[in-house]
Amino acid sequence: MEDLKYEEIPELRKKLKNIGVATESQNRLPMFEASNKPRQGIRSFKGRHGEVTVEGRLGQIHKNLLEAILWKKELHSYIHTDQTIGNGKIKVKYLKVLFDREKVRKFLAQGKGKYSKQRYKILLDDMMRTILTLNVRGETMRGPLVIDLYDSPVAKPINTKSPIIPKQVKLTTIVFGSVITTLLDNELKFNYNPKKLLALNSGVSQALIRYLATHKNHPPAGYHLKELAKDLDCPIERAEWYDIKRALKRDAETLETLGIVINFERERLFVTKNILENLV
Q: What is the pLDDT along the chain (280 residues), one digit of tens a residue?
A: 667 888 899 899 989 999 999 999 999 999 999 999 999 999 999 999 999 999 999 999 999 999 999 999 999 999 988 776 666 677 889 999 999 999 999 999 987 788 999 999 999 999 999 999 999 998 999 999 999 999 999 988 877 655 656 678 889 999 999 999 999 999 999 999 999 999 999 999 999 999 999 999 999 999 999 999 999 999 888 899 999 999 999 999 999 999 999 999 999 999 999 999 999 8
Rounded CA separation 147/149 (Å) = 7
The answer on 253 and 183 residing in a single domain is no
Dist CA 155 CA 168 (whole Å): 6
Flag whether 156 is in a domain: yes
156 and 168 Cβ atoms separated by less than 8 Å: yes
If asked whether residues 30 and 167 sit together in one domain, one would say yes
pLDDT of residue 101: 95
In a domain, 122, yes or no: yes
Residue 235 lies in a domain: yes
Q: Indicate the residue among 191, 223, 252 that finishes a domain.
A: 191
Nearest one of 258, 192, 190 to 272, comparing CA atoms: 258
Residue 150 and residue 207 share a domain: no
Alpha carbon 114 to its chain centroid, in Å, reads: 19
CA distance 241 to 229: 9
Please state, in angstroms and rounded to a whole number, the distance separating the CA atoms of residues 175 and 145: 9
Residue numbers of the domain that contains 186: 6-191
Residues 174 and 39 in one domain: yes
User: Residue 253: beta bridge partners?
Assistant: none
Distance separating alpha carbons of residues 275 and 64, to the nearest angstrom: 17
CA quadruple 112, 190, 185, 149: dihedral, nearest 10: 0
Do 64 and 126 have their domain in common? yes
- The answer to whether residues 184 and 231 belong to one domain is no
pLDDT (0 to 100) of residue 76: 96
Q: Are residues 160 and 221 in the same domain?
A: no
The domain boundary residue, chosen from 158, 191, 224: 191
- Structural domain count, the chain: 2
**Among 13, 32, 73, residue whose Cα is nearest residue 208:** 32
Whether residue 204 contacts residue 232, with contact meaning beta carbons closer than 8 Å, is answered with yes
User: Domain boundary residue among 175, 191, 207?
Assistant: 191
Question: What is the rounded CA–CA span in Å between residue 271 and residue 275?
Answer: 8
Q: Could you tell me if 251 and 205 are in contact, meaning their C-beta atoms sit under 8 angstroms apart?
A: yes
Where does the chain have alpha helices with state H? 9-13, 24-28, 60-72, 101-108, 117-129, 178-186, 195-198, 203-213, 225-231, 238-250, 252-257, 275-278
pLDDT of residue 168: 81
- At 91 the pLDDT is 82
The pLDDT, as a whole number, for residue 34 is: 97
Q: Are residues 106 and 237 in the same domain?
A: no
**33 secondary structure, DSSP code:** B
Q: What per-residue confidence (pLDDT) applies to 84?
A: 67
